[in-house]
A and B are shown apart, each in its own frame.
Chain A
């Protein structure tokens, strides 16, 4: 039993950070990439002061941290329930208290990025004499870690008893006919909901905040689009997970009598629904803060990028690192597109490429 800790760290913590490298890169770029390095301390200090002085912003921050904690919990519980990690059920033999202590350690390690940032917030809050906020953050982190560890412990000692059915799933389960795209959407809503919610909040938030400041006299959509395209490419992590789920657990769909065009329509429907919040946000700000032509460019470029990312995964068995490289490449092309005022043309090219790659790649499954 003395080797338990290294095994757990290797199987859970290391795997978590490896598999979520794209997620962390995206958030790193979002928090530290949008401001020049020399302005980073001042920017984050101002941000933290805003969190400390505005209860709504503090609540939003805690909510985001909670979403991240849910993502960690979902990941660990998913592993505990997967056949590949059945060996983890040896943990109860270490004893109830030791097992709990180890799981608490694991949770703390996964929650480390939040705890590090929270530590900076706590130090500044202490200097600002905001003692209630300090207490609140401490209690929040302790509660989140304890509750998560209890959930893991419960899943290990009483496997299969945790109720994890979200409302969306229960409602969908009652329906008679379920189209294929709804399986994929439910996969996102049940297994990656924190990531999905985070990407949607960020995408729509960036669009709203950066477009709202545009006026007819001071109008330049290049920067809003570039920042938005980072959030857009964050979808790459979800698309990658979807393709993985299809290859592992929805293989039967390939054997069903469905034409290639109808198969493509499933993805077109899925990504249209996924991109709907951004479409609504742009539509809402049009035409006062964004011109109709630019709004069309935003929507088409966003939608075609999602389809292109999806289709690229049909031509080759890409690894997560390849997906990041691909996303960066697409970001470069989008950058060129927005600078040359050719977003609509670029979207057309993306759509054509996505269609060609899909039709060419779908039937080439090797094994």
Chain B
């Protein structure tokens, strides 16, 4: 599914990652590491947001050579999502639907499942952090990506929404969608079957069995 080749990332003279080769198969991956290890950086790189050296392939699509096809296969939700306050949730949903070429019924289902109907058409500037977080998750689940990257998906979510998120992940797993996420909160593997943990260590990543 996801392959890193000659992958490097540095900030100035400080090298964060140096991975000669690594391949991750389908599944749910929990990315772990101490603060500052580069978890968010790695997720943003995989999501195609920030630059790096080398290449990443997702389902055979190279982020360097075929960036549009690559980005079509991946979607991302930030740890602390921020959107322009003058936009409404509906604006962003319809924008994502058009870019990801998804059906509007999918958006309606997500909005309904995450109980966002009452406020989705209002200005994001008046929303709480939890409401914005739910919107970012709904946007990440739109379309048919083969990998969904979630940075701290449980932060600011209430208990009901956390259970809903687990259910959504279950449903997507049945459709062969993979997940790569970080979380500082404990996750019970009975609620969310995690295939492997990924540990960031010595500028590289190691996969560990659960």
Which residues of A are in contact with B by a Cβ distance under 8 Å?
81, 160, 165, 169, 172-173, 176-180, 183, 186-187, 190-191, 245, 248-252, 254-260, 363-367
A interface footprint on B92-136 (CB within 8 Å = 1, 0 otherwise): 001110111000000000000000000001010110000000001
CB neighbours (8 Å) of A258 from chain B are 68, 71, 99
Q: Closest Cβ of chain B: how far from A89's Cβ, in Å?
A: 15
Given A255-B71, A255-B75, also A180-B86 (CB < 8 A)? no
Whether A191 lies near B125 (C-beta < 8 A) is no
Query: Contacting A367 at CB < 8 Å: which of B11, B70, B96?
Result: B11
Distance of B50 from chain A, by nearest CB (Å): 5
Contact of B50 among A177, A259, A366 (CB under 8 A): A366
Which residues of chain B are near A365, meaning CB under 8 Å? 49-51
B88 partner residues in chain A, CB cutoff 8 A: 173
16 contacts between A and B (CB under 8 A): A81-B125, A165-B123, A169-B86, A177-B98, A178-B95, A186-B86, A249-B84, A250-B84, A251-B49, A251-B78, A252-B81, A255-B74, A256-B71, A259-B67, A363-B67, A367-B41
B82 partner, pick from A178, A248, A363, A366, beta carbons under 8 A: A248
Q: Give CA–CA (A165, B82) in the complex, Å.
A: 19
User: In the complex, what's the smallest C-beta–C-beta distance from B55 to chain A, in angstroms?
Assistant: 13
Query: Which of B50, B70, B84 neighbours the largest number of chain A CB atoms within 10 Å of its CB?
Result: B84
Instruction: Give 13 new A-B contacts, CB below 8 A, not counting A81-B85, A252-B136.
Output: A81-B125, A173-B90, A186-B87, A187-B84, A248-B82, A251-B82, A255-B75, A256-B71, A257-B70, A365-B49, A365-B51, A367-B11, A367-B41
Q: Which residues of B contact A366 (CB under 8 A)?
A: 11, 50-51
Q: Decide if B164 is an interface residue (CB 8 Å cutoff).
A: no
Q: Is the CB of B51 within 8 A of A257?
A: no
- Given A255-B71, A257-B100, answer yes or no on A249-B83 (Cβ-Cβ < 8 Å): yes
* Residue numbers in B under 8 Å from A248 (CB-CB): 82
List the interface of chain B (C-beta within 8 A of A).
11, 41, 47-51, 67-72, 74-76, 78, 81-88, 90-91, 94-96, 98-100, 121, 123, 125-126, 136, 139
Chain B residues, Cβ within 8 Å of A187: 84, 86
A251 to B78, CA, bound (A): 9
| B195, chain A: closest CB distance, angstroms | 23
Contact check, B41 vs A255: say whether CB atoms are below 8 A apart: no
Q: Which residue of A lies closest to B83 (CB)?
A: A249
CB distance from A363 to the nearest CB of B (A): 6
CB distance from B92 to the nearest CB of A (A): 8
In the bound complex, residues from chain A placing their C-beta under 8 Å from that of B123 are 165
Which one of A172, A177, A367 has the greatest number of beta carbons of chain B within 10 Å?
A: A367
